[in-house]
Structure 1
Amino acid sequence: MRTKCNVFIIVLMIFYFTSCKKFLDPQPISTPTDEATWQSDGDANAAVAGIYALIRAAHSNAISYYAYGDLPSGEFSNTTDGSFLNVLNMQWGTAVPAANVTTPLLILRTYTPYYTAIAQSNRCLARIAVMPADNFNGNDVASKTVQKNRYLGEAYFTRAYSYFELCRIYGDVPLVLNNDDKSVSLEYARTDQTTVLKQAISDLRIAIKDLDWKNGASADRVVRADRGAAYALLAHIYAWMGDYDDCNAACDQVINSGSYSLVGASNYLDIYKGQSSEGIFEIARNSISESSQANNGYTLAGATLTSPYIPSITTPNWQVNNGLVAQLYTDTTDVRFTKGFSMYTNGPVSYYECIKYTNIQMLNNNPSYLVSLNNIIIFRLADIELLKAEALCAKSTPDYTTAQSIINNIRANRNAAPITGLTAANTLQTVIDERGRELFLEGHRFYDLVRLERLNNVQQFDNITTSEFKAGKYYWPVDPSLFLNNSKLTQTKFWQGKVSQ
């Protein structure tokens, strides 16, 4: 993936960055090359690898994975960038001139990057399906067919994953499944997200059949989809849909597979370097060719870290909410606190700093060239175990005792004392609090709090009133620029009449 596919991915990324003004960009590879491209196992492998590169780009542009999942969740109290401050305060309809294409708020309102990845998934599904089995690696027809189906399984997974991200960000979104030349000029209306997510579930059911469990010896383990990643995504989709019985069952598939184990307290930060024993699905960033620039304010490391990790930065762009840290980490022996945070001082002000993502390397002994080598951790075992605890509290026949046991098993692994005195009434909130401790700055908390408020109807956000929550303010608006190429597109319901350009 990291050696044979570089040229393909570079071409793909050039296409991506030069075509992002189109509505869906349904053809990441130019049509004239298709007949010559889809001829071998290597061609299929490179094409599927390109999907992950496009997902990485979608997650990285304007730090979007964390800007959506963490910045407005209460984890941060301030940001020095005005556009990100609008994100934090959920002022998502603030006017941004269309010419300001690098402004984070405009980027975050534009879902084209995810559709570029979906288009590549659709392309792989259409083209690989008609490739003869003999074109794939293997000793016989049966093994070659397994190899072919594995690529198809990855394409189904990546399409399902991209649609899941779109739905929990924007709610109803256009559903595009076809791959043909006419797609370039077609316009698409929004599809009810329940329909979109049911399609994602259908895709994952196919992927589960075509993918094996994690191959611990593979260099591409967990940075390419396998059966565990498919079940983890399935569990999260069911949780988002409020189907906690099926969520619980999908969590069990992951937990009982024997493919994953929690990282010990002494090696806690290894989780964020990537491909740890508890990693289930990650976006690869732990090699130089896949890394991000650390001393750039529009990357996660550049937005959240200061000296000595990044010597040139004295005040982070995104400033951690000291009060939330104190509220969550009451046990000072908790390794998630002792190794996950440090305190920095700038003049009279002291702040906590999340230091999970400090695997930084200097290139050519030049302090101006620092790269961050931390993977984007999408799903890991602790996440799925705590998601199961949430499901046990919310499913049709709750099991609070087992949910409490899961919480304390996680805490024991993290050197934190057990929580006692739990009751049926407070266990769900305790689960979400534990997810907050475990998954701080991992792209989960905003969505966790949305699910919690749906379940208990208790206000969770400073910048959403109860009536606004019921009206769907937590779904993002789409940028007005998207309407230029798609007359069928409508604004997100809550934000109609509230978005200026």
Structure 2
Amino acid sequence: MRQHIFLILVFVITLSSCDDFLDKTPIDQIASEEYFDNQNSAEAAVLGIYRLMESPFYYGQSMIIVPEFAAGHVRHAMSYPEYVNFQSNEIRIDNPWVANIWAQSYSIINAANNVIEQVPLMNNFTAEEFQAQLIREAKFLRALTYFNMVRSWGDVPLITLPTTSSSNFNVSRTQAHVVYENIIEDLRDAVNLPRSYNGSESINKGRATQYAAKALLAKVYLYAGNDNMAIFYAKDVIENGGYLPVDDYGSIWLNENSSESIFELQFDEQGTNTLASVSNPTGAALFFASDKVYNMFEPNDQRRDFTINTENDIKYIGKFRNYNPATQNVPVIRLSEIFLIYAEALARVNMSQLGEPYLYYKKIRDRAGLTTPDETTYDLNSFINAVQREKRLELMFEGEAWYDYTRTGLALTEMMETPSQDRFIFPIPQGERELNKNLGQNSAYE
């Protein structure tokens, strides 16, 4: 079946065996009215959305490695244009990675839309609370996906209803600020998710919680320019979420679901992490750490030698070491990022780096074994830049620094080979524009 701008595949899983969260068998092209007939199938549909998030075209590889190429943090085994063009910020409109992320994003969104549309119509749930939970999980995952899309492309089509073979695929792009409004609306409902989950640990591990929604809200508000709301949600997560920074930075990835992991995608032998399988010291290695990344760290930074795994003078991406089998989890949101969001937003609102903003910035550096200059040595602008640079190092190879630096314009001087604000966002895939004549193109790629 032809893939349009929005895939009509309903990708769900069977819960005939609930022994493991990722013990999933895909069921393709099942009509939603036939599939959403009981609460087990409804839950299976929700868990299927998590599975879609783990695709090689999403957090299983592309959603991490593409922005890392754009930031200049990684290199490929070969100098293929489809990779190199990200580094030079001269991406072609037919770039396959851009097209794959776009298509996978709408596959996730459509699966979430099916849950959000169909589950409220079901009347055979044993508990209304569980019914509401499934809808809110889908809203969280839809919000996360649209957040990544608006950061990657700016204006994108906002679709909140399921698509079918009879849907109109000639949908225009929606202004970014309207997309942000929908993201926030979804997340403000998702904050009513459970704080944690009872019952079978394996099936509940990695599911969105109320504090995952609050953490994502803090981040979304930071990008939307609402520092007061970013502070509000970040402080709530820090003070009430129950998350704790780990002492050993590397243990965040060597061990699953650390005490500072707020939302973490779960991989196992049945659902492997493609990026882990091709970024380690094996004959299958395709992706490597850029040589310049090593020198970004201070010599005594305890994060450096874990983040960059050096063997035989070759620098590898170090955060995905569980590769045999490739069961490496992906922490999507961590407490340390929330510390730095809080520090930046509070400094802006206070018009000063003194006090709490500095203290939360210093907490991250303390864990890294670094000495931090006295708070009075910064002014407001230099402090905010320092926070962003710290976030770049803390979240290296997690697919975040490119978006963070384009958010404030720091990418122009510290990342881009071809500095241009118009190239902060990627081209709309040409294949999608040929199918949908109502899709415009971002100005740098016209």
TM-score by length of 2: 0.87
Pair 1:279-2:234 in alignment: no
1:68–1:169 contact (8 Å) kept in structure 2? no
Residue type of the alignment partner of 1:186: F
2:343–2:387 contact (8 Å) kept in structure 1? yes
Q: Secondary structure at the match of 2:439?
A: coil
Whole-angstrom distance in 1 between the partners of 2:50 and 2:177: 25
Residues 294-329 of structure 1 deviation map (CA, whole Å, 9 limit, x = unaligned): xxxxx42344322xxx2x25xx533323333223x2
Whole-angstrom distance in 2 between the partners of 1:228 and 1:34: 30
Alignment of 1:59-138 (within 5 A): 59-60=57-58, 63-76=61-74, 79-82=77-80, 83-93=82-92, 96=94, 105-110=95-100, 111-132=102-123, 135-137=124-126
Gaps of 5+ in 1: 1-17, 97-104, 138-143, 293-298, 362-370, 497-501
How far has the Cα of 1:73 moved from its partner? Answer: 0.7
Residues 366-398 of structure 1 deviation map (CA, whole Å, 9 limit, x = unaligned): xxxxx3111122101111111111212333644
Whole-angstrom distance in 2 between the partners of 1:225 and 1:23: 27
Whole-angstrom distance in 2 between the partners of 1:402 and 1:464: 37
Alignment of 1:324-473 (within 5 A): 324-327=293-296, 329-332=297-300, 334-345=301-312, 350-361=313-324, 371-395=325-349, 397-420=351-374, 422-424=377-379, 425-453=381-409, 459-465=413-419, 468-469=420-421, 472-473=422-423
* Counterpart for residue 163 of structure 1: 146
How far has the Cα of 1:61 moved from its partner? Answer: 8.1
* Paired residue total: 425
TM-score by length of 1: 0.78
Deviates more, 1:392-401 or 1:144-153: 392-401
Distance 1:32 1:264, change over 3 A: closer
Whole-angstrom distance in 1 between the partners of 2:412 and 2:33: 56
How far has the Cα of 1:452 moved from its partner? Answer: 3.1
Residues 185-228 of structure 1 deviation map (CA, whole Å, 9 limit, x = unaligned): 3320000011011011011111112x021348833556211111
Residue type of the alignment partner of 2:87: L
Whole-angstrom distance in 2 between the partners of 1:192 and 1:166: 12
1:245–1:396 contact (8 Å) kept in structure 2? no
Whole-angstrom distance in 2 between the partners of 1:396 and 1:187: 46
* Counterpart for residue 365 of structure 1: none
Gaps of 5+ in 2: 12-27
1:62–1:108 contact (8 Å) kept in structure 2? no
Q: Secondary structure at the match of 2:162?
A: coil
Whole-angstrom distance in 2 between the partners of 1:344 and 1:27: 43
Deviates more, 1:256-265 or 1:419-428: 419-428
* Counterpart for residue 42 of structure 2: 44
* Counterpart for residue 56 of structure 1: 54
Whole-angstrom distance in 2 between the partners of 1:116 and 1:341: 33
How far has the Cα of 1:85 moved from its partner? Answer: 1.7
Pair 1:494-2:436 in alignment: no
Residues 129-161 of structure 1 deviation map (CA, whole Å, 9 limit, x = unaligned): 0111xx234xxxxxx111111001101111111
Residue type of the alignment partner of 1:289: Q
1:408–1:419 contact (8 Å) kept in structure 2? no
1:360–1:372 contact (8 Å) kept in structure 2? yes
Q: Secondary structure at the match of 2:310?
A: strand
1:331–1:416 contact (8 Å) kept in structure 2? no
Whole-angstrom distance in 2 between the partners of 1:245 and 1:220: 36
Q: Secondary structure at the match of 2:328?
A: coil
- Identify which of 154, 175, 186 aligns with 2:169: 186
Residue type of the alignment partner of 1:279: S
Pair 1:290-2:271 in alignment: yes
Residue type of the alignment partner of 1:164: F
Whole-angstrom distance in 2 between the partners of 1:386 and 1:222: 26
Deviates more, 1:75-84 or 1:28-37: 28-37
Alignment of 1:187-336 (within 5 A): 187-209=170-192, 211-215=193-197, 218-220=201-203, 223-265=206-248, 268-271=250-253, 273-285=255-267, 287-292=268-273, 299-306=274-281, 310=282, 312=283, 316-327=285-296, 329-332=297-300, 334-336=301-303
Whole-angstrom distance in 2 between the partners of 1:397 and 1:270: 33
Whole-angstrom distance in 2 between the partners of 1:393 and 1:27: 45
Q: Secondary structure at the match of 1:196?
A: helix
Identity %: 22
CA RMSD after TM alignment = 2.6
Whole-angstrom distance in 2 between the partners of 1:431 and 1:216: 37
Whole-angstrom distance in 1 between the partners of 2:57 and 2:230: 25
Q: Secondary structure at the match of 2:295?
A: helix
Distance 1:216 1:439, change over 3 A: farther
